[in-house]
């Protein structure tokens, strides 16, 4: 398999470090708008020595690409004879990369789907444009292409969806609710506010109206941070208050898993929520450019990009981070006529991920899952055509391979 990885930030760099230890691919081209960043990611795996597939100088290469330039991405895919494009950029660039993969005849994987747009009149009751709607509008074209677009294949969405499929196939006869629950006890020394993931994406998913699915009603929205609950996370993390947040699992899981209700709740904490609310109140969450004075005259700047520029790069925080992060899927239903609740989860300790890979826990946990998925696609353990989510596939091969990568998952009876 020949892979074009677009995005050499924290997650993209972690992907190269994880993939370098596997032998399922022939070549990975790492492309970024900042070519120096792509070159640094490639140099890091090359200096680490030889992985399981040969000298890393031969398997990895760096390139410069503008992810918004669909024609340039298509041309790069064709020039490099890539079988798959792995999108490690933020959601703004999903559609041009998605269309470029289709045009070039390459498989496509992402970890976040095309952006939503709230309902213009009833944003906290009805869905407008949902996450992934733009992608699914091209479903017929992808089906005809014979290629696979595997969407939402990070950790959340991604592994959380795999857990939902595993629960449906092996643990339950009927499912009342699938609830994704994400929490952590991570701290960052020296910073009052330092998100462990892209602030651009964090603002997008936390301040948009959360989506909930209910059988018979379909998808609907609520106000941000609704339905707070305290969830007890495993492996020493403990109780964390979680709230509804917009996320792809709620849009994907009901397509392939039968459940009466699907939710996503994130353990943000009061301080984090307050900060996001202040950013919203003063308009710093907006993406449309505003005019500001510059040294050579007026310039157009996106307020959200200013916020991102003022905060530390999450990929650089690993040495200051302490604690664990947990992604998981809580499922409630029946088995053999009896009520059952389980929590399927994946915990990463920042100390371990930094020592083993030099990547902080949150980005590493996100990065490992698309690499596992690519290996399954490369070996035909997962095969399909058209636009599919992780829950469209048999979960067992994925979970077994994840353990082979040295990253075990757990299950707790509730």
Q: How confident is the model over 183-239, as pLDDT tens digits?
A: 999 988 888 787 877 787 888 888 899 999 999 999 999 999 999 999 999 999 999
CB burial of residue 190 (10 Å; 0-12, 13-18, 19+):
exposed
- The arithmetic mean of pLDDT across residues 8-18, rounded, is 96
- The arithmetic mean of pLDDT across residues 328-341, rounded, is 98
- Name the residue with higher pLDDT: 130 or 313: 130
Please say if the pLDDT value at position 319 is more than 80: yes
Q: In b/e form, how buried is each residue of 392-412, taking b as 16+ CB within 10 angstroms?
A: bbebebbbebbeeeebebebe
Q: How confident is the model at residue 391 (pLDDT cuts 50, 70, 90)?
A: very high
- The arithmetic mean of pLDDT across residues 309-319, rounded, is 84
Q: Distances from the Cα of 309 to the Cαs of 98, 291, 304, 340, in angstroms?
A: 27, 17, 9, 46
Please say if the pLDDT value at position 51 is more than 60: no
* Partners of residue 214 on adjacent β-strands: 218, 261
Please say if the pLDDT value at position 138 is more than 50: yes
- The arithmetic mean of pLDDT across residues 126-147, rounded, is 97
Taking the C-alpha atoms of residue 392 and residue 162, their distance in angstroms, rounded to an integer, is 9
What is the pLDDT, as a whole number, of residue 205? 80
What is the pLDDT, as a whole number, of residue 125? 97
Please say if the pLDDT value at position 152 is more than 70: yes
What is the pLDDT, as a whole number, of residue 317? 83
Q: Which of 142, 391, 117, 155 is nearest to 252 (CA)?
A: 391
Taking the C-alpha atoms of residue 168 and residue 313, their distance in angstroms, rounded to an integer, is 38
Tally of CA atoms within 13 A in the half-sphere of 316 that contains its CB = 7
Question: Mind listing the pLDDT tens digit for each residue in 269-286?
Answer: 788 888 888 988 999 888
- The arithmetic mean of pLDDT across residues 49-58, rounded, is 56
Please say if the pLDDT value at position 62 is more than 80: yes
Please say if the pLDDT value at position 50 is more than 60: no
> Hey, what are 164's tokens?
């939902």
Q: What is the DSSP letter of 258?
A: -
Taking the C-alpha atoms of residue 26 and residue 66, their distance in angstroms, rounded to an integer, is 24
> What share of the chain has pLDDT > 70, as a percent?
98
Q: Which of 283, 288, 310 is nearest to 193 (CA)?
A: 310
H or E element at residue 308: helix 303-310
Please say if the pLDDT value at position 140 is more than 90: yes
Return the residue matching tokens 């595993």.
166
Q: Which of 108, 159, 169 is nearest to 385 (CA)?
A: 108
What is the pLDDT, as a whole number, of residue 191? 81
What ranges in 60-149 are assigned the alpha helix state H? 70-79, 94-104, 133-136, 139-145
Taking the C-alpha atoms of residue 374 and residue 226, their distance in angstroms, rounded to an integer, is 35
pTM over 0.85: yes
Backbone angles phi, psi at 301, to 5 degrees: -135, 135
> What share of the chain has pLDDT > 90, as a percent?
80
What is the pLDDT, as a whole number, of residue 97? 98
> Hey, what are 197's tokens?
């993931």
Secondary structure class of 241 (helix, strand, coil):
strand
What is the pLDDT, as a whole number, of residue 56? 58
Beta strand ranges found along 197-283 (DSSP E) = 211-214, 218-221, 229-233, 238-244, 261-266
Q: How confident is the model at residue 43 (pLDDT cuts 50, 70, 90)?
A: very high
- The arithmetic mean of pLDDT across residues 344-356, rounded, is 97
Secondary structure class of 154 (helix, strand, coil):
strand
Mean pLDDT lowest among 244-253, 313-322, 379-388: 313-322
Question: Mind listing the pLDDT tens digit for each residue in 65-120?
Answer: 999 999 999 999 999 999 999 999 999 999 999 999 999 999 999 999 999 999 99
Contact status, residue 399 vs residue 162, Cβ threshold 8 Å: yes
What is the pLDDT, as a whole number, of residue 55? 55
What is the pLDDT, as a whole number, of residue 273? 84
């Amino acid at each position: 398999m020949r892979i074009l990885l677009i995005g050499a930030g924290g997650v993209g760099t972690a992907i190269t470090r994880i993939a370098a230890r596997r032998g399922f691919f022939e070549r990975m081209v790492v492309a970024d708008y900042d070519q120096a960043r792509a070159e640094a990611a490639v140099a890091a795996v090359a200096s680490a020595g030889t992985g399981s597939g040969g000298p890393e100088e031969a398997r990895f290469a760096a390139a410069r690409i503008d992810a918004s330039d669909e024609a340039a991405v298509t041309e790069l895919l064709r020039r490099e004879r890539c079988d798959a494009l792995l999108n490690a950029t933020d959601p703004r660039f999903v559609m041009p990369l998605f269309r470029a993969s289709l045009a070039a005849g390459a498989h496509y994987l992402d970890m976040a789907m095309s952006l939503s747009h709230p309902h213009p009149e009833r944003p906290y009751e009805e869905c407008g444009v949902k996450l992934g709607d733009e992608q699914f509008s091209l479903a017929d074209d992808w089906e005809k292409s014979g290629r696979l677009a595997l969407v939402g294949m990070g950790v959340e969405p991604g592994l959380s969806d795999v857990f939902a499929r595993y629960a449906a196939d092996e643990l339950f006869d009927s499912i009342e609710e699938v609830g994704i629950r994400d929490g952590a006890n991570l701290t960052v020394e020296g910073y009052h506010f330092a998100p462990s993931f892209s602030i651009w994406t964090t603002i997008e998913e936390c301040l948009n109206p959360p989506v909930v699915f209910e059988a018979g009603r379909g998808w609907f929205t609520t106000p941000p941070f609704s339905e707070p609950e305290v969830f007890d996370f495993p492996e020493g993390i403990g109780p964390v208050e979680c709230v509804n947040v917009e996320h792809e699992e709620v849009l994907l899981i009901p397509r392939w898993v039968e459940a009466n209700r699907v939710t996503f709740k994130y353990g943000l904490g009061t301080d984090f929520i307050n900060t996001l609310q202040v950013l919203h109140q003063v308009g710093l969450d907006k993406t449309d450019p505003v005019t500001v004075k510059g040294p050579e005259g007026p310039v157009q700047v996106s307020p959200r990009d200013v916020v991102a520029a003022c905060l530390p790069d999450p990929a650089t925080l690993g040495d200051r981070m302490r604690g664990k992060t947990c992604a998981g899927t809580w499922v409630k239903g029946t088995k053999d006529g009896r009520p059952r609740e389980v929590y399927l989860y994946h915990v990463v300790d920042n100390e371990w991920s930094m020592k083993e890979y030099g990547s902080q826990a949150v980005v590493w946990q996100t990065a490992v899952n698309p690499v596992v998925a690519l290996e399954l696609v490369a070996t035909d353990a997962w095969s399909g055509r058209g636009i599919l989510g992780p829950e469209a596939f048999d979960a067992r091969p994925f979970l077994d391979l994840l353990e082979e990568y040295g990253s075990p998952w757990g299950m707790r009876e509730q």
